[in-house]
Amino acid sequence: MGILNVTPDSFSDGGIFLPTDKAIAQGLRMMEEGADIIDIGGESTRPGARPVSVQEEIDRVLPVLETLRAQIPLPLSIDTSKPEVMRAAVAAGAGFINDVRALREPGALEAAAELGVPVCLMHMQGKPRTMQENPRYDNVVADVTEFLGKRLQVAQTQGIPAVRLVIDPGFGFGKTLEHNIELLRGLKQLRGLSSAVLVGLSRKSMIGKALGLPVDRRLYASVALAVMAVQQGASIVRVHDVGPTVEALRMWAAVYPESRRE
Ligand code: 9MG
pLDDT tens-digit profile, the chain (262 residues)? 999 999 887 777 777 777 789 999 999 999 999 999 999 999 998 877 788 999 999 999 999 999 999 999 999 999 999 999 999 999 999 999 999 999 999 999 999 999 999 999 999 998 888 788 888 999 999 999 999 999 999 999 999 999 999 999 999 999 999 999 999 999 999 989 989 999 999 999 999 999 999 999 999 999 999 999 999 999 999 999 999 999 999 999 999 998 755 4
Among 4, 100, 198, 201, the mutation site with the greatest number of ligand 1 atoms within 8 A of its Cβ is 100
- Catalytic residue check, 204: yes
Going from the Cα of 41 to the center of ligand 1, the distance in angstroms, rounded, reads: 10
- From residue 120, how far is each of 34, 99, 148, 186, 198 by CA, in Å? 21, 6, 10, 19, 8
Considering the four listed CATH numbers 3.20.20.20, 1.10.10.10, 3.30.70.890, 1.10.10.60, the one that applies to the domain covering 2-200 is 3.20.20.20
User: Measured over all CA atoms, what is the biggest interatomic distance in the chain, rounded to whole angstroms?
Assistant: 48
Q: Ligand 1 centre from 240 Cα, in Å?
A: 11
Active-site residue, selected from the candidate residues 238, 250, 260, 261: 238
Q: Among this protein's residues, is 238 annotated catalytic?
A: yes
Please give the Cα distance from 122 to 124 (Å, whole number).
Answer: 6
Q: Is 198 in the pocket of ligand 1 (CB under 6 A)?
A: yes
| Atom in ligand 1 nearest the alpha carbon of residue 200 | 7
